[in-house]
Amino acid sequence: MSKLRSIETSFKGAAPHFVGDGFRVSQYFPAGKNLLTRFSPFILLDYNQPHYFEPSEARRGVGAHPHRGFETVTIAYDGKVEHHDNSGNHGVIGPGDVQWMTAGSGVLHKEYHEEQFSKDGGMLHMIQLWVNLPNKYKMTKPKYQPITKENISVYKLSNHEGEIKVIAGEVKGVKGPASTFSKMNIYNVCLKNHGKVILNEPSEFNTGILIINGEMKINNDSIYKENDFILFDNVEGEIILESVSEDSLAIVLSGEPLNEPVIAHGPFVMNTESEIIKAYEDYNSGKFGQLNF
Ligand code: MN
């Protein structure tokens, strides 16, 4: 029998709070559990669990704000969100789409409910993940990757047990469309009832799973439910996921740790205190650009 990759801990997100007036998020880390560099290169996970927004003429969301030193990855499960940044990038993402923004040296952006979605109202269900940049790429030019669901690679499990939708990295020979600055695998695992999959993540990768929907038995042992986050030990071994509810869905985050100091303050994530001070100075002196883009 193959070795299994054991579970270090599982936890839930912090009590939900609003980001602007458009996103009701439960923060898994660092607020729910302060993982510091334990889950590098992933530094923050905000989960907007399914939440109904009433129809509104006013657009809900977050106004212009800066970021530097990392990437924001927004993964939509339901609802539509629109993005603008001062590098001239603009996009709308809906169910199944992903927006991968590299803040790098500095970007100002705003994130709003898409216009028609605001007017109609509806369920919003999405994730925003912050992925740290290695020191040598912290000041890289800002970049924007719109990844539509049509571009996301799909690995079909045998016997119609489900599928794996690969956003970044490679799973079972299938490569995801996102370009990344360090090695990582990010993918959604969709399983039918009793659908089963064996995952093989490198032991040195920090690996965690957030259950989005349904219930899954992990490693033929414990059952975890939606909103549970499971962090695995860095040991050699397979991860076995089995759906024990009708349909289930989980997102797997797995990446090679950067092994660099992390100093995070507000919207900036750098390696030293002085780089954080510099980020505030640059932002306050207008080096990130004008707020009214
Ligand atoms: Mn932002």
Burial-class residue 54 by CB neighbours within 10 Å (0-12, 13-18, 19+): exposed
What pLDDT score was predicted for residue 1?
A: 60
Closest alpha carbon to 253 in 108, 17, 44, 33: 44
DSSP secondary structure code for residue 22 in this structure: T
Residue 157: what residue type? L
Find the mean pLDDT for residues 185-200. Answer: 97
Q: How many angstroms does the Cα of residue 65 sit away from the middle of ligand 1?
A: 6
Q: How many angstroms does the Cα of residue 247 sit away from the middle of ligand 1?
A: 32
pLDDT (tens digit per residue) in 208-227? 999 999 999 999 999 999 99
CA distances (Å), 72 to each of 42, 89, 100, 217, in order?
10, 14, 6, 30
Q: How many angstroms does the Cα of residue 274 sit away from the middle of ligand 1?
A: 22
Mean pLDDT of the chain: 97
Q: How many angstroms does the Cα of residue 200 sit away from the middle of ligand 1?
A: 32
- How long, in residues, is the chain? 293
Q: How many angstroms does the Cα of residue 234 sit away from the middle of ligand 1?
A: 30
DSSP secondary structure code for residue 197 in this structure: E
Q: How many angstroms does the Cα of residue 98 sit away from the middle of ligand 1?
A: 14
* pLDDT range class, residue 293, cuts 50, 70, 90: confident
* pLDDT range class, residue 292, cuts 50, 70, 90: confident
Contact 232, 208 (CB under 8 A): yes
pLDDT above 90 covers what percent of the chain? 96
Tokens of 259: 């092994």
Q: Is 261 helix (H, G, I), strand (E, B) or coil?
A: coil
What pLDDT score was predicted for residue 257?
A: 98
Q: How many angstroms does the Cα of residue 110 sit away from the middle of ligand 1?
A: 7
Q: How many angstroms does the Cα of residue 111 sit away from the middle of ligand 1?
A: 7
Q: Is 172 helix (H, G, I), strand (E, B) or coil?
A: coil
pLDDT (tens digit per residue) in 17-75? 999 999 999 999 999 999 989 999 999 999 999 999 999 999 999 999 999 999 999 99
pLDDT (tens digit per residue) in 11-24? 999 999 999 999 99
| 0.75 exceeded by pTM | yes
Tokens of 41: 């290169």
Q: Is the pLDDT of residue 82 over 80?
A: yes
Tokens of 204: 């040195």
Find the mean pLDDT for residues 147-166. Answer: 97
pLDDT above 70 covers what percent of the chain? 100
Burial-class residue 93 by CB neighbours within 10 Å (0-12, 13-18, 19+): buried
Q: Is the pLDDT of residue 290 over 90?
A: no
Cα separation, 258 vs 173, whole angstroms: 24
Find the mean pLDDT for residues 251-280. Answer: 98
Q: How many angstroms does the Cα of residue 102 sit away from the middle of ligand 1?
A: 11
User: In order of start, what are the domains of the chain with their CATH numbers?
Assistant: 7-255 (2.60.120.10)
Q: How many angstroms does the Cα of residue 1 sit away from the middle of ligand 1?
A: 45
Kind and range of the H or E run holding 162:
strand 162-168
Q: How many angstroms does the Cα of residue 267 sit away from the middle of ligand 1?
A: 7
